[in-house]
Structure 1
Amino acid sequence: MSQKKIFNFFQSTEKSNSLVLVKGILNDLVSDVIIKNSSKKHETVNDKTLEKWKQNYPWLIVSTMHEKKTLKCKLCSEFKTSTIWAKDGTTNIQKSTLDRHNECDPHIEACKLSIKKLDMELAPENKLEKGKIDNADVYLMRTVYMVMKEELPLDKVNAILELQRINKADISYRNLSWTTITEIQNLIALILKEDLIQRLRSSEYFAMLIDETTDVSISKRLSICVRYIHNGIPYTDFLANIELSDGCAHTIVTALLTYFEKCEINTSKCVSLATDGASVMVGKKTGVGVQLVAKAAPFCVQTHCVAHRLNLSITDAIKDNDAMKKFNVKFGELFNFFSNSGNRTYTLRQMQTLLDEPELSIKAPYPVRWLGLKRAVETVHECYGSLLATLSSIGVNDTKAKGLYKYFSSYKTAILIGLMCDVHVELGKLCCTLQSEKLMFSDVPAIVESTVSMLNILKTNDGECFKIMKGNLRYEEDKVFYGNEELTNYSLNIDSQIETVRQNYLSNLIKNIKRRIPKHDSKLMLSLNEVLEPSIVRMASPESNETALQCLIDHYGNDKVIKSVSGNMISGYVETVKPVVKIIQSEQLLKEWPGVCGMMAGCYKNLSLPEFCQRIILKHKDQFPNIAKLAVIALCMQVTSVECERSFSTQNRIKSKYRASLGDVSLEALMRVSLFGPSVENFDSEQCARQWLTKRRRKKRLTAEYKPREPKRMKLTKC
């Protein structure tokens, strides 16, 4: 353009202002220079420059994504820092960007960790081979593990090591500090935890069992257990014990998602959530289950623990009957009467010995414990004669004993004790079955129906305990005696009154059990049962099978989304929507179904639901991939949260009032080993010893004998 203007200047026939033309030419030249410089500034860095940068910055990684080059940091990726260099990388390819990252705090911390790791690898004493680990190292790991497994205090480790030395064991460790023992303890728990997390990551789907409680230090705790499939077998394990700021649903969900994100476990694979049925868990609008489905696990199905529901059924049946309500209250008063006095308990034992009855202490009807009334009633039934004799002798000078004697010496109470023993025998069987780790959702209806049938029999027939109680009664004219004690309130129409109480109580109990634990608890679980139970599939009509398949397709065969909200009231809230891919392909599932029906009608016709699911997962996963996914989901479905209750019992045993300052990490480590740790014989102590010895140089120091420090000498100063 500038050349053209110069040419026109010399060729022009008209006289023009030369100054104006020169200014125009200069402006055009300057604009061309600016355009060329700006284009040079935005040119991409060539490969030669990148190679020079790699030499100056050894941690630099250059990758190409979507035809764009990105820069990443090798150290930050290895140690998982919070910078973008550790994740997606940066597209700002400039020398100044590298300098800024090289001086940032996360990168400096990653460099320190890398140097520390390199020093450990180069240390000659840390290059341990499997055959070079001493027996003393293995004995030490096994000793600490045994102390954890038996829930013993850590200060017992040195005493047990000393005992092993006295028994001529080849162990040189002695005088271990609390810090050293705690470090070994946490390492053992970490190895078990990493193995569990790895299994959860590799499992296609899993279930969560959660419950919250308060420990001895008045701290709110959340117990998390998981159920997953490994080699076709379902396992239930303890995952974590987290401290909560409060018991709100939002707090619980936030703690759950934060922990699973920290462990790098995909929460969208959660297909079942079992809770105790509290309103904060099962609330229809803002409960934990509703929030978890909306934010992280769209295919999750929430269930109310069947063992908790059974306990609620029993409690409701007692509340609905005035005679049974008074019966429960009096047993509580009886426990308090004997537990508060050693003299009364001693008198009871003397009577039991005298009357040749078993020496049993009076049990409390705990309202928070499943079937807490069962043990209390059974104890009184077995030592009823000595109980009446004790209350009679103490009641001469004690009004409370006199009142208890008046109630328990009643003919009606004696008969009710026999009746309640028979009822609780059947309820106890049901309760223990519902707490089984191997319980499947398909087993619950049959177990409940069996118990209901036995309760219906007890409405018209006397049970064993009822017959024993009546057999011990001696009738003389219009009086009734149990041993030498006369039973009061006996009349001709008392049996009809007792029969009325019996019918009302058992009818209410059966009604509450059916209402609390219905036969078809969940439509989705019913559909899984109708599709994967060979005996049901063979008996059902094709229309019924198609309806069950369609129900499963509607839930698992459609893409879903999860929504999360971040931010605050000051900066504003941002809603993030993330799609979740459907679990099964509906068209392929329908094509696979005829072949599966053929197997159920043939060689697999006698298998139960768990056995059939295991066969599909292990042998026919490639042939029927969608049916195999449903089989994994069926095995993961959890209907109880009893593992959380067991973890609370373990927590309260470990963190007692004598160990109330136990930290969160140590508490979780001890709970993990106590609950689901392998036996001492099966524990891999060599692996633990190898990892522990490669951490730092300590073996020589820990095997040395204890030498007390010399007392400090006072310095003499000149006057």
Structure 2
Amino acid sequence: MPRKREGNQGQQSVLKFFKKDSNRKNGNSNSKIGTDVQEESCPNDADDNYGCSMRDVDTPCALSAAISGETREGCSNSICTTVPGETISSDELQKRKDKFHDKFTRKSGHKVGWQERWKSEYKWIIPVSNDKGNIVGMLCDLCKRHSVRQKNGEWTWSVVPATYLRRDKIVGHLEGEQHFKAMIAEMDSLNSLVDGGIQQSLQFQIELNKEALKTAMKSLYWLIKKEVPHTSNYRSLLDFAKSHLGCDILKHLDKGGNAHYTSERIIQELVQVMADQISHEQMNKLNGSLYIGLMCDESTDISVTKELVLYGRYTDKGVVGSCFLEIIPIKDGTAVTITSAIQHWLEKNKIGIQKVMGFGSDGAACMVGRKGGVATLLAKENPMMISIHCIAHRLSLAVSQAAGRVNLLRDSFKPNLSELFRFYDYSGVRMAKLHDIQEILDVAQLTLKEAKDTRWLSHDLACKALFNSLPAVITSLEYEARQNATAAGLATWIKKYSTLATLYLLCDLLPHLSALSKCFQHHQVDLQQINIHIAVKIEVVSSMKDTVIPDSRLSQLDDDITGRLGTFVITHASDDAKERWRVEVQRPFVENLISNLEDRFSMTPLLSAFGIFEPASLPDPVPDDYGISSLRCLMDHFGRADGVVTCDVRDEWIGLRQYLKTHKTLSRNDLMQNLLSNPTMMDLYLNLLKLASVMMIVPVCTADCERAFSTTGMKHVKTWLRSQNETVH
């Protein structure tokens, strides 16, 4: 038998203490878990009883010598060198213990800490939590189920949690012998159940059926998303997948001689299931939001049916979102009918009208009428609701009405521009000849665009297309004018100086407004940034009133008349005609446009009051009364909101104002996320976060409703052929 180490009871206690301390410093709270610690042995490891190994830390020569005063012969470690009979103080003992710990531990560069994605990547991991709910270890489900030990006999991963929360340790266990033995045991267990267990066999068949149905639903979902007629293509797509793509799982859809899960009734049921799931998720987001905003628009589809489309705005953890709600058939487009449809939808989904704090529309009389509009009728039930006229519609109206007050634009330019588009669009022969001329002139083969007041960006695209193809279009019109009176009239019109100058002016001006319109159509457009962008564009437009901007298209007109348009006779190009165009067209159009922009985008005091939530607008130094008047304006309107305590709002604002002083670099979106998602901020500013939530959900643009009609409700989904079916289909 090996010689036992001499020592008293106190020595053994210190040994146990040192072992626990070493494990604690290595991030291991369980003394039995030692498989992840790197080993380093003392040179004096010939004697098994005194080997300086971290694996046998109960009897290290260094600690033994430190406590008993012995000197191990042949040991070169300085910590092992002691004088026989020497009495070691507690401080010296601690120093030697720390030195021993530093020698036998290594720091790794691996990322340490539990990662939630490990649950999905490694299905067999079982996280282990402490009393505080923090994950401090991991178990292997397979090793635990089959009680498999490690190679060294330890129960780590099966009984004792592995406390090194690192990916390399997980991979090492996955590739190790312990996990492999557990997998073999699991396979043997499953095989025994398959061979002799009816329940296991039945469960396996059920899983196959579920997987087959999931694959079929994914195929159906793909058809719907790609706007492919799913009723007629669903069965053929599944047959193709089974016969040519190797999707054998779909064969489990065939049950008996007549059950294939491909009938029209099954298709409609699957579509309804997917629709219900999407609707359920959307309603959860709306119900989870403190307040919501509604956007609506009505139009007539191809089957001459009046339809009302509804969209909703909500906040989710401080981030604003927008979602489609429903397309509702209505008998007419009156305000009473639309209001009744909205109220019925709210009642059906158990949403109170008091939760609707924002309403957006296209600004039609039936929507925003002061006496009987939809916004007015809804405000009778919820006076705190804010009604917004879509800013993209307002911008489009500002441009079209400014052009309507200029005779040349209203009576000549816009009608002839539309007639020019129809002249080529209605004849494939003329369009082909135009493309041939473009190829000969070595210009891009562009088609002319149609300009409509109902399409926000159409005038900009139409003017750009004509500008880029101008030489080819004039050449084509002169050729067609030999046999066509319409072409002769269009050729005469387009070769006038006033027409060319107007075209060049619009090509300089409209891109700025089109960029602004695209910005407004974004569902996360910032309410407080609207007036800032409008002011910038007004300055740009004002610069085109009396002068010509250098390097602009209008500044190049005279060079183009003698250059790329030099082969054509441009009429009415005298100095008097040019000055008359500037007086009758350029100046009035720019002045009307500026006036319309200022009138239609004047911010109301209520909306301006929300500017206190913009950290960038905080003055320096901050006055003591900053934001008080804006806060009073907000409380006059929203003071009756559910849960808002008026007397506490002022105190909360003083605290938030001080917070903004020290966080001036904070963006408005970051501030909103903190107010609406950070638990501490939510407790401190309980009333202000409700006002901030209202600002977030106010719908400033109804572009989503327009897209719903143009992409789903009107053109792509409800085509002429499908309109022959009933509405429910």
- TM-score when normalising by structure 2: 0.67
Q: CA deviation at 1:392?
A: 0.2
Q: Match for residue 607 of structure 1?
A: 666
Q: Quote the Cα distance in structure 2 between the aligned partners of 1:126 and 1:595.
A: 64
Inter-CA distance 374–285: structure 2 relative to 1 (3 Å threshold): same
Inter-CA distance 493–261: structure 2 relative to 1 (3 Å threshold): same
Question: Does residue 140 of structure 1 match 2:216?
Answer: yes
Q: Quote the Cα distance in structure 2 between the aligned partners of 1:125 and 1:528.
A: 64
Given that 1:557 and 1:583 are in contact with CA atoms closer than 8 Å, whether structure 2 keeps it comes out as no
Q: Match for residue 528 of structure 1?
A: 610
- Once the two structures are superposed, the pairs formed by residues 2-13 of structure 1 within 5 Å of their partners are none
Q: Quote the Cα distance in structure 1 between the aligned partners of 2:613 and 2:206.
A: 47
Question: 1:486 is paired with a residue of what secondary structure?
Answer: coil
Inter-CA distance 395–131: structure 2 relative to 1 (3 Å threshold): same
Q: CA deviation at 1:492?
A: 2.8
Q: Match for residue 156 of structure 1?
A: 233
Match for 2:646 among 558, 564, 586? 586
Q: Deviations over 1:245-278 (max 9, x none)?
A: 1111111111111111111122211110011001
Q: CA deviation at 1:136?
A: 2.6
Q: Quote the Cα distance in structure 1 between the aligned partners of 2:591 and 2:579.
A: 16
Aligned length in residues: 512
Structure with greater strand percent:
1
Inter-CA distance 250–128: structure 2 relative to 1 (3 Å threshold): farther
- Once the two structures are superposed, the pairs formed by residues 262-341 of structure 1 within 5 Å of their partners are 262-295=348-381, 297-325=382-410, 326-341=412-427
Inter-CA distance 126–409: structure 2 relative to 1 (3 Å threshold): farther
Inter-CA distance 597–178: structure 2 relative to 1 (3 Å threshold): same
- Once the two structures are superposed, the pairs formed by residues 682-701 of structure 1 within 5 Å of their partners are none
Q: CA deviation at 1:664?
A: 4.4
Question: 1:274 is paired with a residue of what secondary structure?
Answer: strand
Given that 1:655 and 1:662 are in contact with CA atoms closer than 8 Å, whether structure 2 keeps it comes out as no
Q: Match for residue 464 of structure 2?
A: 378
Question: 1:235 is paired with a residue of what secondary structure?
Answer: strand
Percent identical pairs in the alignment equals 25
Q: Deviations over 1:169-210 (max 9, x none)?
A: 232356822222222112111100011112212211000001
Q: Match for residue 491 of structure 1?
A: 574
Q: Match for residue 94 of structure 2?
A: none
Q: CA deviation at 1:483?
A: 4.4
Q: Match for residue 115 of structure 2?
A: none
Given that 1:395 and 1:405 are in contact with CA atoms closer than 8 Å, whether structure 2 keeps it comes out as yes
Q: Quote the Cα distance in structure 2 between the aligned partners of 1:433 and 1:514.
A: 18
Is there any run of 5+ residues in structure 2 with no aligned partner, and where?
1-198, 254-259
Q: Quote the Cα distance in structure 2 between the aligned partners of 1:264 and 1:452.
A: 45
| Amino acid corresponding to residue 447 of structure 2 in structure 1 | S
Question: 1:656 is paired with a residue of what secondary structure?
Answer: coil
Q: Match for residue 634 of structure 2?
A: 552
| Amino acid corresponding to residue 415 of structure 2 in structure 1 | V
Q: CA deviation at 1:469?
A: 4.4
Match for 2:720 among 639, 643, 657? 657
Match for 1:451 among 537, 540, 553? 537
Question: 2:323 is paired with a residue of what secondary structure?
Answer: strand
Q: CA deviation at 1:557?
A: 1.3
Question: Does residue 230 of structure 1 match 2:339?
Answer: no
Inter-CA distance 127–644: structure 2 relative to 1 (3 Å threshold): farther
Q: Deviations over 1:300-354 (max 9, x none)?
A: 1101001000011011111110111111111011112112222211211111111
Match for 1:418 among 500, 504, 509? 504
Q: Match for residue 466 of structure 1?
A: 554
Given that 1:527 and 1:549 are in contact with CA atoms closer than 8 Å, whether structure 2 keeps it comes out as yes
Inter-CA distance 132–592: structure 2 relative to 1 (3 Å threshold): farther
Match for 1:434 among 512, 520, 541? 520
Question: 2:630 is paired with a residue of what secondary structure?
Answer: helix
Inter-CA distance 188–468: structure 2 relative to 1 (3 Å threshold): farther
| Amino acid corresponding to residue 627 of structure 2 in structure 1 | N
Given that 2:448 and 2:462 are in contact with CA atoms closer than 8 Å, whether structure 1 keeps it comes out as yes
Is there any run of 5+ residues in structure 1 with no aligned partner, and where?
1-122, 476-480, 559-580, 667-719
Higher relative contact order (Cα pairs below 8 Å, separated by 6+ residues): 1
Q: Quote the Cα distance in structure 1 between the aligned partners of 2:262 and 2:207.
A: 25
Question: 2:569 is paired with a residue of what secondary structure?
Answer: strand
| Amino acid corresponding to residue 300 of structure 1 in structure 2 | M
Max radius of gyration: which structure?
A: 2
Q: Match for residue 713 of structure 1?
A: none
Given that 2:306 and 2:333 are in contact with CA atoms closer than 8 Å, whether structure 1 keeps it comes out as yes
Q: CA deviation at 1:228?
A: 0.3
Q: Deviations over 1:337-379 (max 9, x none)?
A: 1122222112111111111111112211122111321111111
Inter-CA distance 159–472: structure 2 relative to 1 (3 Å threshold): farther
Q: Match for residue 135 of structure 2?
A: none
| Amino acid corresponding to residue 239 of structure 2 in structure 1 | E
Q: Match for residue 345 of structure 2?
A: 259
Given that 1:614 and 1:631 are in contact with CA atoms closer than 8 Å, whether structure 2 keeps it comes out as no
| Amino acid corresponding to residue 674 of structure 2 in structure 1 | R
Match for 1:167 among 234, 241, 245? 245
Q: Match for residue 657 of structure 2?
A: 597
Q: Quote the Cα distance in structure 2 between the aligned partners of 1:277 and 1:592.
A: 36
Inter-CA distance 178–313: structure 2 relative to 1 (3 Å threshold): same
Q: Match for residue 220 of structure 1?
A: 306
Q: Quote the Cα distance in structure 1 between the aligned partners of 2:310 and 2:516.
A: 25
Q: Quote the Cα distance in structure 2 between the aligned partners of 1:553 and 1:178.
A: 56
Q: Quote the Cα distance in structure 1 between the aligned partners of 2:558 and 2:208.
A: 72
Q: Quote the Cα distance in structure 2 between the aligned partners of 1:299 and 1:151.
A: 41
Q: Match for residue 23 of structure 1?
A: none
Given that 2:311 and 2:322 are in contact with CA atoms closer than 8 Å, whether structure 1 keeps it comes out as yes
Q: Match for residue 74 of structure 2?
A: none
Q: Deviations over 1:4-34 (max 9, x none)?
A: xxxxxxxxxxxxxxxxxxxxxxxxxxxxxxx
Inter-CA distance 587–127: structure 2 relative to 1 (3 Å threshold): farther
- Once the two structures are superposed, the pairs formed by residues 619-634 of structure 1 within 5 Å of their partners are 619=678, 620-634=681-695
Given that 1:236 and 1:437 are in contact with CA atoms closer than 8 Å, whether structure 2 keeps it comes out as yes
Given that 2:613 and 2:692 are in contact with CA atoms closer than 8 Å, whether structure 1 keeps it comes out as yes
Inter-CA distance 127–507: structure 2 relative to 1 (3 Å threshold): farther
Given that 1:276 and 1:305 are in contact with CA atoms closer than 8 Å, whether structure 2 keeps it comes out as yes
Inter-CA distance 551–159: structure 2 relative to 1 (3 Å threshold): same
Q: Quote the Cα distance in structure 2 between the aligned partners of 1:319 and 1:221.
A: 30
Q: Quote the Cα distance in structure 2 between the aligned partners of 1:583 and 1:330.
A: 59
Inter-CA distance 141–547: structure 2 relative to 1 (3 Å threshold): same
Q: Quote the Cα distance in structure 1 between the aligned partners of 2:685 and 2:204.
A: 47
Given that 2:561 and 2:570 are in contact with CA atoms closer than 8 Å, whether structure 1 keeps it comes out as no
Question: 2:616 is paired with a residue of what secondary structure?
Answer: helix
Q: CA deviation at 1:491?
A: 1.6
- The two structures, once aligned, show a CA RMSD in angstroms of 2.3
Question: 1:473 is paired with a residue of what secondary structure?
Answer: helix
Q: Quote the Cα distance in structure 1 between the aligned partners of 2:482 and 2:301.
A: 43
Q: Quote the Cα distance in structure 1 between the aligned partners of 2:308 and 2:206.
A: 39
Q: CA deviation at 1:290?
A: 1.1
Given that 1:556 and 1:582 are in contact with CA atoms closer than 8 Å, whether structure 2 keeps it comes out as no
Q: CA deviation at 1:506?
A: 1.1
Question: Does residue 618 of structure 1 match 2:705?
Answer: no
- Runs of 4+ aligned residues of structure 1 deviating over 6 Å after TM superposition are 123-130
Residues 495-504 or 381-390, more deviating: 495-504
Q: Deviations over 1:529-585 (max 9, x none)?
A: 1x2112324456444521111111111113xxxxxxxxxxxxxxxxxxxxxx64411
Given that 2:610 and 2:630 are in contact with CA atoms closer than 8 Å, whether structure 1 keeps it comes out as yes
Given that 1:556 and 1:583 are in contact with CA atoms closer than 8 Å, whether structure 2 keeps it comes out as no
Residues 306-315 or 340-349, more deviating: 340-349
| Amino acid corresponding to residue 496 of structure 2 in structure 1 | S
Q: Quote the Cα distance in structure 2 between the aligned partners of 1:130 and 1:514.
A: 67
Match for 1:514 among 586, 598, 613? 598
Q: Match for residue 578 of structure 1?
A: none
| Amino acid corresponding to residue 235 of structure 2 in structure 1 | N
| Amino acid corresponding to residue 576 of structure 2 in structure 1 | N
Given that 1:610 and 1:635 are in contact with CA atoms closer than 8 Å, whether structure 2 keeps it comes out as no
Question: 1:228 is paired with a residue of what secondary structure?
Answer: strand
Residues 488-497 or 311-320, more deviating: 488-497
| Amino acid corresponding to residue 515 of structure 1 in structure 2 | D
| Amino acid corresponding to residue 184 of structure 1 in structure 2 | L
| Amino acid corresponding to residue 570 of structure 2 in structure 1 | L
